[in-house]
Amino acid sequence: MSRDEHAAGAPRDWIRKTYIVAVLGAGALPILLPNESQSLELLEYCDGLLLTGGGDFDPESFGAADEGTDYSGVSKTRDEMELAFIGAADRMAMPMLGICRGVQALAVAGGGTLIQDIPRVIPDSPLLHSQPENRQQPTHKVLVEPQSQVAKLLGGSIVEVNSFHHQAIARIPRGYIVTARAEDGVIEAIENPDKEFMVGVQWHPEDLVGHSQEAQNLFAGFVESSRQYRERGQRYGTACH
């Protein structure tokens, strides 16, 4: 999924190259979907949907008033298109992986809500979820439910992750279970156990694939599920985001 932002007054859709490298490294070809309604037609030629990081959701999208949302990164167009992509991909039983904002998109699409600003809600947390460190640097641990799909993908129940967010899931979306939390209780991963692959993580594994086996495993699992989706005769061998 491309980001919808403004540079020098000109709107643009863009994506960080680390996502592209991570998908290519896992053996799939990424196709970027512009935030336009016509992209729903292109989604039909894809094998998996990757929902990337980005700015905050408009709280109106989950029925809330402003409680710390950073409106400088809000794009109602992107909000609407991501929810439409998720709905379409779900109807096609397409594998989905949500990363950072992407896990929040899965939550909102499923009727969940978001913590709009973690420091306001958990002022005594010992963790700084919006880290100033290098994006390739893990900064805290997440505790993974041992029997979950996320645990099987990552290959462990305690994982070191990077962290660049001030929002997180509040109310769990319909059909999902929480499969990882930070040590302060913030939700770090969810999955839908009734779906073949519908997983979201709050950290940024695309920045860790160069040195983290867990991050590589996550993308490999997503791509393998997408390959199986294709082999069932449904699509053509691409991962869209």
Domain annotation for the chain: domains and CATH numbers: 3-240 (3.40.50.880)
- Report how far residue 168's alpha carbon sits from residue 145's, in angstroms, rounded to the nearest whole number: 18
What is the structure's pLDDT at 103?
A: 98
| Rounded average pLDDT over 160-179 | 97
What is the structure's pLDDT at 13?
A: 82
Predicted structure pTM score: 0.94
Question: Which pair of tokens denotes residue 46?
Answer: 């894809």
Phi, psi values for residue 161, rounded to 5°? -130, 160
Question: Which pair of tokens denotes residue 34?
Answer: 């512009």
Question: Which pair of tokens denotes residue 21?
Answer: 């490298």
Which of 140-154, 201-215, 222-236 is predicted least confidently? 222-236
| Rounded average pLDDT over 49-75 | 96
Sign of the alpha-carbon torsion through 169, 171, 172, 178? positive
What is the structure's pLDDT at 81?
A: 97
Query: On the CB side of 142, how many CA atoms lie within 13 Å of its CA?
Result: 30
3-state secondary structure of 169: strand
Question: Which pair of tokens denotes residue 27?
Answer: 């053996």
What percentage of the chain exceeds 90 in pLDDT? Answer: 89
What is the structure's pLDDT at 124?
A: 94
What is the structure's pLDDT at 8?
A: 55
